[in-house]
Copies of this chain bind each other. A is one copy, B any other.
Amino acid sequence: MTASTPGPTVLVLDGDPLLRLGRLTGRARIEHVDASTLAARLPYADVLLVWDVASRAVRDAWPGEGPRPRWVHIASAGVDHVLCPELAASGAVVTNARGVFERPVAEYVAALVLALAKDLPRTWDLQREREWRHREALRVAGTRACVVGSGPIGRTIARTLKALEVTTSIVGRVPRTGIHGPADLDRLMARADWVVAAAPLTEQTYGMFDARRFGVMQPSARFINVGRGQLVVEEALAEALRKRWIAGAALDVFRQEPLGPDSPLWQVPDLLVSPHMSGDTVGCQDELGAQFLALYERWAAGKPLLNVVDKNRGYVPGH
């Protein structure tokens, strides 16, 4: 903290983006805070940059006393971990990292779809056992995917799967050109070989993938979640896999992260677990820093911000 620096005060929560914010030196007071120091510093901040997607610190600290930052930037696509009712009701503008994660997440989904179709997990198990066992794999081209989530990530996933010749439908909150509404979800899930969850976590999407929905899927189908853990009733998914209602699943996000070593999810049959990394690629930290700086220039110049979250809906409304 350099008290003599003029300009707005920017709180950086749980980040180490010193180098990346170097361009603000002398123009803003950059203060690094963590969950334990956030509440005390919030009243003195003009801007809050939330770096760690897993932190609940803003939800805890925001409802306190005193003035609040005018702008909160969240360096992730989902904003559910930050957007408490008091922040939603406040005058603060909330922005997110739209534009950074679309392509990586879409590639991750394509990687999972292809790995499952080609039975790669089993192949590498057999390699460990030094066993040559030829199988016939699935042809991905011509299969059907249902992508749930019509934001830029869901749409990029759909475009990427289509490039692999997968027949792909998108389901969103509101039907529009090229996007199905919730009324079509069960029918599309029942026909899909791949159901991909990429929706924001909202009241409407909480627990939407439950026993009934896994029940409408085909026994040969696979479920993939790269959205938020809370979209899924995890016990129902585990049960659907154990009972062979569906052929497999891959989860990159969980209700409780990190998944503890005692979680039963590590060993559910045909369930692939990855540690919330679908969007994170080498260089993305720099990209997130550059994105914040570009938004900061607009904010400092009094121009309208981009990637502005609709605080009632819980995501950036779009196209």
Contact = CB atoms under 8 A, between A and B. Distances in A.
Contacts of A108: 118, 137
A181 to B, nearest CB: 29
A234 to B, nearest CB: 15
A108 B137 CA distance: 9
Contacts of A266: 127, 130
Given A115-B115, A275-B132, A137 B258 contact: no
B272 A137 contact: no
A163 interface: yes
B164 A134 contact: no
Interface string A251-287: 0000001111101001100001111110011111000
A114 interface: yes
A133 interface: yes
A282 B134 contact: no
Given A107-B117, A120-B115, A273-B127, A132 B258 contact: yes
Interface stretch (A27-35, A63-71, A138-146, A208-216): A138-146
Contacts of A319: none
A136 interface: yes
A277 B284 CA distance: 35
Given A115-B120, A124-B124, A266-B130, A136 B277 contact: yes
Contact of A136 (B114, B135, B257, B281): B281
A203 interface: no
Contacts of A115: 111, 114-115, 120
B139 A281 contact: yes
A219 interface: no
30 contacts: A103-B139, A107-B164, A108-B137, A111-B111, A111-B115, A114-B115, A115-B115, A120-B120, A123-B272, A123-B275, A124-B272, A132-B258, A132-B259, A132-B260, A132-B275, A133-B275, A134-B258, A134-B276, A134-B280, A135-B277, A136-B277, A136-B282, A137-B277, A137-B280, A137-B281, A137-B282, A138-B281, A138-B282, A139-B282, A163-B164
Given A123-B273, A127-B266, A137-B277, 9 more contacts: A107-B164, A110-B110, A114-B115, A123-B277, A130-B261, A130-B267, A132-B259, A134-B258, A139-B281
